[in-house]
Amino acid sequence: MTRIFLATMPIASHVMPALPIARELVDKGHDVLWRCGRKFEELITATGATFTPIAHHLDFDENASAFQTLDERKPGIPGFKKVVLPLFIESVPGHVADIEPVLEAFRPEVVFADHSLLAAPILATRRGTRTVLFVGGPLPLTGADAPPPGIGLLPGRSRLGRLRDRGLGWLVTHVLFRDVRRALRRSTAGLGVPRVDGFFMDWVVQLADRYLVLTVPEFEYPRGDLPSTVEFVGPTWPELPEVPTSPACRRDVERSRAAGVPVVLVIQGPRTADPASLVAPTAAALADEHVLVVATTGNHDPEEVLPAARRPANLRLERSLDPVELLPTADLVVTNGGYDSVQLALAHGVPLVTAGVSDNRLESNNRVRWSGAGVFLRTWRPEPARLRAAVTEVLRDPGYRAEAERLRAAYARHPGARRAAEVILEVAGARAA
């Protein structure tokens, strides 16, 4: 039995991808101790892992914290830094002090951590414990083959474009994120880890024996300069509580499929400040089109998002839907670009029309555009005319479906949680059962 210390920030998009990995390790007979925020305790213990809480003064609710300073209408580095500095950089000494006695008591053979919880690899390095990190979003590393993360550009294809990317990488690292690097140097001073040079996310990779990316290489920009420790293992697809689609909605979808009417699935995440920002324009855009629109409000009250009296006849609006149930019947997904929603659609071979330009959505949606599996509208709330044109283009052009099918094959080749567990045990020196 291997002792594994698992640590994640108390953020849903950081916790959820680790759930299947923890279950895989526990099912193989290994001892997993997971440190996280108290709101995730039930989900964590359901995997069989042992839960240990983050100290109260370090715990936070992503729906009532610095995340709320992000304006999804105005993406950019200043807003991003408002989150990164207090929650991920300046909190490092506090997390180090909180985690150290846990590691001393548990004495893990390997630390497995969310890449943004910097205290975990710092302490593992200081103790001589091997470390595996994971990232459940777009790859946040700089390099010569792609523009720096967070600025929303596609990789340059020409010699001039590649020079642009390298120049921007220098600008982001040494000018725009200079204050972040200095803050991290202050937070890590005296902790016995290498001096922070370059981009702060690149520095984290230096502390890890392996760095797992929870997607497929075909959905990332081609990179010939990644460290040898980086491995694409595929998404982990966490098991969520069942939210069955209503029988009436299922019947409408089945009738539409039988009649040859395209089914457009609209997925809008629960963290969206305005739950109508995508549902309302999509409903208006497609009201007179020969399609069935099935939309979820991300657990918001459908009547508040779009009152029944104003809904087009071809719209089915539900508080929640089971996308896994509906995606095999969908011809197109419209989404604000949550990374999990995008990957889930592509893993089913369904092309996309995406909006959303805040946090990771800008990078996620740009990868949709780059892959050829969809259209990115580059706005948080698209105009109905633009949305209608994009939906029409994707439905009529078989190239989008072909690229989505290509990606589906790629996702099928990557086992996700199973491979992640294998890597963790390899690093620990244990034999996987």
Average pLDDT over residues 192-221: 94
Q: What is the mean pLDDT of the chain?
A: 91
| Residue 372, pLDDT score | 97
DSSP state of 74: S
Residue 97's closest CA among 43, 38, 35?
35
Whether the CB-CB separation of 59 and 10 falls below 8 Å is answered with yes
pLDDT at 368: 97
Q: Residue 82: its pLDDT value, please?
A: 83
What does the pLDDT look like over 216-268, one tens digit per residue? 999 999 999 999 999 999 999 987 666 778 889 999 999 999 999 999 999 88
Helix/strand/coil (H, E, C) string of 251-263?
Answer: HHHHHHHHHCCCE
Which of 360, 361, 396, 394 is closest to 378 using CA atoms? 361
For residue range 53-83, what is the model confidence (pLDDT) as tens digits? 999 999 988 765 555 555 555 556 777 788 8
Contacts of 177 (CB under 8 A, 6+ apart): 77, 81, 199, 200
**What is the tens place of the pLDDT at every residue in 331-364?**
999 998 889 999 999 999 999 999 988 768 889 9
Q: What pLDDT, on a 0 to 100 scale, did the predictor assign at position 243?
A: 72
Produce one character per residue of 113-147: b if its CB has 16 or more CB atoms within 10 Å, e if not. Answer: bbbbbbbbbbbbbebebbbbbbbbbbbbbbbebbb
Give 117's DSSP letter. -
pLDDT of residue 433: 43
Q: All domains of the chain, ordered by start, with CATH? A: 3-235+414-429 (3.40.50.2000), 247-413 (3.40.50.2000)
Task: Enter the pTM of the model.
Answer: 0.93
